[in-house]
Amino acid sequence: MAEALATKPAMLFAVQVAVGRAVCMAESYAATPHAGTSLVFSDVGYDHALIDALGERADGIEVLTTAPSPEVGFAEAYRAQFGDEPKNFAANMYDAVLLLAYGLELSGGEGGRPLADALVRAVDGRGETVGWNAEGIGAALSALRRGETPDLNGATGPLTYDPLVYTDLTESHYGLFRVEGGELVSRAVIATRESNTRGAGEAASQARA
């Protein structure tokens, strides 16, 4: 931590899944001169375990983690259903189940290679746009049964994958939070489509070209 802070970065990203090690990182950060450097944890800080362990010392720490698309209403629906903010990876897990359902519909319930091939066909669809909610799911399944190719959207946004290996979404969202008074306060939702750095979206565009 001392070596990293000595370079005086604007932000220092700490990617750690073990809360105990994240606490050690945060304590080292606090004990080392760090003027002008923000400490940003990945998802380990979002579930409050790190905040609870640090207490008041957590204030000022930032967290960057995956987030649902702010444009589709998933977060609002989650709050209405569960009375709480969406849990870590909630939107991603929701979309994983959606994709499995769509893939199984196209594969006739078969797993293995037929399911893998069906998932590719599903996410390559560019027909009518369908959403993540019950109405959208019903429309998507009906369209797939008719042999149509709807444009699938999920809680994370468009379910469009890179056409090379089909493992990365071409567009994702991340939430940036800051700990204030022991609570996570949202600072921004960042869409990768707005980034100037090369990512899956650019790779997909180049592959199509």
How does pLDDT run across 159-202, given as a tens digit for each residue? Answer: 999 999 998 899 999 999 999 999 999 999 999 886 554 444 44
Instruction: Give strand ranges (E) for the chain.
Output: 11-14, 38-41, 62-66, 129-130, 151-154, 157-158, 173-180, 183-191
Q: Taking Cα atoms as reference points, which of 48, 12, 44 lies closest to residue 29?
A: 12
Global confidence as pTM:
0.84
